[in-house]
A and B are shown apart, each in its own frame.
Chain A
Amino acid sequence: MSKNLNLTLHVWRQKNAKCDGKFVEYPAKDISPDMSFLEMLDVVNEGLIHNGEEPITFDHDCREGICGTCGMVINGQPHGPKERTTTCQLHMRSFKDGDSLTLEPWRAEAFPVIKDLLVDRSAFDRIIAAGGFISAPTGTPQDANALPISKENADLAMDAAACIGCAACVAACPNASAMLFLSAKISHLGLLPQGQPERYTRVRDMVAQMDAEEFGTCTNHGECEAACPKGIKMENIARMNRDFIKASLTYRPATAGGGGAG
């Protein structure tokens, strides 16, 4: 059994979006290496409550790396030092006794801080609402073979669908660009037969919303791919750009319908 750890945390504390924030130092004592990073924060918070202080606010939910709710910048790295790992799946055995850790929220103009380490990511919801859907009706499923799709494309769509929308890509990007996230959604739907009807309106609408939310653009730093806990690849951005150019060149404004019998 490995030895418990004593750490020093420098945590960003900010009352709300309007107030200034600052780093506050807290000790994290007697931390079991089996704890997840969030469980370590739970322990620190229990101590703060006992002292009558307000605990550190952070976002979390499933705690098994699949919901995309948690995330903070740990020593400059979104989700911390372990690759392809969300903050909730990062375990304290990744750290050494005596380590000093700096915890910050996702920093981006489009993500205002709500409190401490918790930011408002509803800009992502609005991007999804702008086009991240299909209009194919549900109902009795047809035979699987009625929708021809190559294994390669099915696999690529599945890989893109692994995006959990945690926004680590935005936090990692020097431009606070949301293009890795956006391109994962565009690829996921655009590679599948069910996503074809809206393929080109989708990319236009979602990119327009991304711009309206004031995310930056991609200048190929590659920080996003390195930070992504789900291994989303930058090739998705190339795919999105291709679709976007095609959509822009072939765009026709919608015209009123021809009028039916009536």
Chain B
Amino acid sequence: MADAVCLATGGYGSVFYLSTNAKGCNATAIWRAHQKGAAFANPCYTQIHPTCIPVTGDHQSKLTLMSESLRNDGRIWVPKRKEDCGKPAHQIPEEDRDYYLERKYPSYGNLAPRDISSRAAKQVCDEGRGVGSTGRGVYLDFDASIKRLGQPKIEERYGNLFEMYERITDENPYKEPMRIYPASHYTMGGLWVDYNLMSTIPGLFVLGEANFSDHGANRLGASALMQGLADGYFVLPYTIGGYLAGIKPGTRIKADDPAVKAAEQTTADRTQKFLAIGGKETPTHFHRELGKIMWEFCGMARNEAGLKKALQAIPELRERFWSDLKVPGTGNDLNQTLEVAGRVADFLELGELMCLDALERRESCGGHFREEWQTEEGEALRDDENFTHVAAWEYKGDGQKPVRHIEPLVFENIHLATRSYK
């Protein structure tokens, strides 16, 4: 038994099924801690990264990120006309191309922030101007840079990324433009922590992407690494001592404590429950279904009607999961299907909380874009009067509505402003 626990278990971006996260990433640790009393803050703040290799089919198990740095030398475009989308890129003359980021954001152009670039890509694809076999893709074109700097320079800068792209797509990005599309990449929300990184459960510390701190509603490039280093090297080593110093020697709970026994029993019961369902569908099937709901209704753009639909669809899916799941094998040896079943069960609950949080936050802010709150030009519109706060959700038990607590945000030196990338 331990005196304190530190969770550094990462984010919950795989709730969308397809994401740039590693396949094993999951929300189990933070979600179970939430159910034991740790408040979950801002679950609706998720980052959708604009430069990922597009989906090729239903077999897709993950999406690969093409580094953001590519946008330094690549120009993003789609055809101006739907009819041109099926043509090879080189057959579309310059005047028939829409470099939409350069057009909409002349000062930032192709380097517009992630949320803006992602939404803009979604928008042009929604208009039917997407490229590639699925129509969910935009070009990232290096032709101009190769002409200006020469291929050796581009190879020196991005050789490994171009190689990775070719490996996955079988297309040569030196010859034809890359195709990219947004994908779930990072989650700004997570377990609520104080300045000492302690959650609302005394002795439970949460570090890195697993907590909600540092990034607010949006995350800028490289700051996840910063947070990992800051939390792990510079904060926790100096704050956990303060908690440990307050524990009387000899008061640590023992392995035979009734609470420990109860937790072990709950886990064993859960395992048996999964194995006993004896339905027809695999855990991955349900995960994929959940991902589609989350991507459609709680992805790059959200609205009240969609979120309400999701809040109906997720409990229905959960019900089917618990009645039609198939987990072969036993709980006595390594059983990867059993493991995935547990992850998906947690995502099926967390997904609902994300939608609830997105519904309650009636403003657009950072990664959370509510279609009802946008300027005439389609930019995010915050409601500082009513929503300058962190929403920290308290779990109230299975089937009970969670309670939304508020932590006001106070800006003393740098005042809130609206960003413009025009």
Which residues in A have some Cβ–Cβ distance to B below 8 Å? 1, 15-16, 32, 34-36, 38-40, 42-43, 46, 48-50, 52-55, 57, 60-65, 67, 69, 85, 89, 91, 93, 114-115, 118, 138
Contacts and interface: CB of A to CB of B under 8 A. Distances in A.
A40 B61 CA distance: 10
Given A63-B22, A67-B22, A115-B333, A52 B328 contact: yes
A91 B336 contact: no
Given A36-B61, A49-B282, A50-B326, A60 B333 contact: no
Contact of B170 (A39, A46, A91): A91
Interface in B14-32: 22-24
Contact of A50 (B24, B60, B282): B282
B284 interface: yes
A64 B170 contact: no
B334 A57 contact: yes
A55 B326 CA distance: 12
Interface in B21-51: 22-24
B337 interface: yes
B282 A63 contact: no
B60 A39 contact: yes
Contacts of A39: 59-61
Contacts of A138: 233
A248 B72 CA distance: 50
B59 A42 contact: yes
Given A85-B167, A89-B167, A138-B233, A64 B333 contact: no
Given A55-B337, A138-B233, A63 B328 contact: no
B57 interface: yes
Contacts of B168: 36, 89, 91
29 contacts: A1-B133, A32-B57, A34-B56, A34-B170, A35-B59, A38-B61, A39-B60, A39-B61, A40-B59, A42-B61, A42-B284, A46-B284, A48-B328, A49-B282, A52-B326, A53-B328, A54-B337, A57-B336, A61-B23, A62-B22, A62-B23, A63-B23, A64-B64, A64-B65, A64-B164, A65-B164, A89-B164, A114-B334, A115-B334
B87 interface: no
Contacts of B59: 32, 34-35, 39-40, 42-43
Interface residues of B, dominant DSSP:
loop
Interface in B276-325: 280, 282, 284-285
A99 B306 CA distance: 46
Contacts of B65: 64
B80 interface: no
A54 B326 CA distance: 11
B282 A91 contact: no
Contacts of B97: none
A16 B335 CA distance: 11
A94 to B, nearest CB: 10
B329 interface: yes
B62 interface: yes
Given A61-B22, A61-B23, A61-B24, 13 more contacts: A15-B333, A16-B334, A32-B59, A34-B56, A46-B285, A48-B328, A49-B326, A57-B334, A57-B336, A62-B22, A63-B64, A64-B62, A89-B164
Interface of B: 22-24, 56-57, 59-62, 64-65, 133, 164, 167-168, 170, 233, 280, 282, 284-285, 326-329, 333-337
Contacts, number: 80
Nearest to B327: A49
Nearest to A15: B333
B178 to A, nearest CB: 16
B225 to A, nearest CB: 14
Top 5 nearest A-B pairs (CB, nearest first) are: A62-B22, A34-B56, A61-B22, A61-B24, A49-B282
Contacts of B167: 85, 89, 91
A80 to B, nearest CB: 13
B327 to A, nearest CB: 8
Contacts of A52: 326, 328
A243 to B, nearest CB: 29
B337 A50 contact: no
A14 to B, nearest CB: 11
A63 B280 CA distance: 27
A50 B56 contact: no
A46 B336 contact: no
Given A49-B328, A55-B328, A91-B170, A60 B23 contact: yes
A38 B284 CA distance: 14
A48 B329 CA distance: 12
B213 to A, nearest CB: 21
A101 B133 CA distance: 29
A76 B60 CA distance: 27
B337 to A, nearest CB: 6
A52 B64 CA distance: 32
A71 to B, nearest CB: 14
B341 to A, nearest CB: 11
A61 B21 CA distance: 9
Contacts of B60: 39
Nearest to B329: A54
A54 B61 contact: no
A20 B21 CA distance: 36
A67 B62 CA distance: 14
Given A91-B167, A91-B168, A16 B328 contact: no
A221 to B, nearest CB: 27
Contacts of B329: 54
A245 B337 CA distance: 48
